[in-house]
Amino acid sequence: MTITKQQIVQWLETSADVFKDEQDFLTELDREIGDADHGLNMNRGFQKVKEKLPSVADKDIGTILKTTGMTLLSSIGGASGPLYGTFFIRNAASVMAKEELSLAELTKMLQDGMDGIVQRGKAEVGDKTMIDTWNGIMESLKQNQDASVYDALSIAVAEAESAMKNTIPMQARKGRASYLGERSIGHQDPGATSAYLLFTELRNASAL
Ligand code: ADP
Ligand code: MG
Ligand code: MG
């Protein structure tokens, strides 16, 4: 069982739709502990990705992901542009020339992406960032390598949801929210939420 290039393209397309639908929700989360632009940032970036997709949809998975990363990097400002841009550019490295991915290959791809975010942003688990969600996802995927792609991703979606919610009681130690100190406690992190939404769309695409 694999995930195909068509499913990867589908993932990016439906993510663009979800970030459009959830723009206000993400921006409201960022209003509480940031500068009220996370929904705007994600929607702007992914609409550009959606525009670009037809021109690369027949290329290999690595090229599609790299193009996605470059597009996000150049179209989103703030912290999340470079971080999500890096995520996709690093994702691309191990899947160049591939038309489909096994669960092991998909897991490595996502791990490389998460490692790129950590190298760039220096956040650790528990700092109340998107890294908390990605860490929950990666821990789960590594424990379920014998499952089908869809089953492994579904179990990881549940872990991603818990990890996202676990950011609520945390005090932010990275990014804008960290300027609030203890006042950042009690709010769900916007980036942990967008990472959950993005990963959920990957699971959904794997079912098609
Ligand atoms: P900005 O804070 O520049 O306005 P966004 O609002 O788009 O950018 O994104 C904010 C999100 O970025 C946060 O909720 C957090 O999850 C994530 N983030 C911020 N700094 C870091 C970092 N150093 N490492 C990982 N994620 C980070
Ligand atoms: Mg912001
Ligand atoms: Mg901003």
Per-residue pLDDT reduced to its tens digit, 150-161 = 999 999 999 999
CATH superfamily of 3-206: DhaL domain (1.25.40.340)
> Could you report the per-residue pLDDT of 78-125, keeping only the tens digit for each?
899 999 999 999 999 999 999 999 999 999 999 999 999 999 999 999
Ligand 1 atom 13 nearest Cα: 191
Query: What is the rounded average pLDDT of the residues 31-41?
Result: 97
* Residue 130 near ligand 1, beta carbon < 6 Å: yes
Span from the CA of 175 to the centroid of ligand 1 (angstroms): 5
Integer angstrom CA distances of residue 115 from 118, 121, 207: 5, 10, 26
- What pLDDT does residue 16 have? 98
Q: Is any ligand 1 atom within 6 A of the Cβ of residue 164?
A: no
User: E strand or H helix at 202, and its extent?
Assistant: helix 190-206
Give ipTM to 2 decimals: 0.99
CA of 190 relative to ligand 3 center, distance in Å: 12
The pLDDT of residue 208: 78
pLDDT in tens, 47-84: 999 999 999 999 999 999 999 999 999 999 889 999 99
- Report phi then psi at 100, rounded to 5: -155, 160
Pocket test for ligand 1, best of 31, 83, 135, 167 (most atoms within 8 A of CB): 83
Question: Which-ligand-closest: CA of 78?
Answer: 1
Residue 15 burial (C-beta neighbours within 10 Å; 0-12, 13-18, 19+): buried
Residue 48: what pLDDT? Answer: 98
Collect all residues with Cβ–Cβ distance below 8 Å to 6 and sequence separation of at least 6.
none
Cβ of 121 closer than 6 Å to ligand 1, yes or no, is yes
Tell which atom from ligand 1 comes closest to the C-alpha of 42: 7
The per-residue pLDDT for 36 is 97
For ligand 1, atom 22: residue with the closest CA: 121
Ligand showing the shortest atom-to-Cα distance for residue 190: 1
pLDDT value at residue 157:
98
Determine the pLDDT at residue 46.
Answer: 98
Instruction: Report which ligand 1 atom has the smallest distance to the Cα of 29.
Output: 14
AA identity, residue 76 = I
Strand residues in the chain grouped as ranges (E): 3-4, 100-101
Which ligand places an atom closest to the C-alpha of 79?
Answer: 1
Which residue, by CA, sits nearest to atom 4 of ligand 1? Answer: 78
- Which residue's CA lies nearest to atom 20 of ligand 1? 175
What's this model's pTM, rounded to 2 decimal places? 0.98
Q: Is the CB of 45 under 6 A from ligand 1?
A: no
pLDDT (tens digit per residue) in 188-205: 999 999 999 999 999 999
**Any residues with CB less than 8 A from the CB of 15 and at least 6 apart, and which?**
46, 49, 197, 198, 201
What confidence tens digit (pLDDT) does each residue in 125-169 have? 999 999 999 999 999 999 999 999 999 999 999 999 999 999 999
Strand partners, 4: 100
pLDDT tens digit string along 15-30? 999 999 999 999 999 9
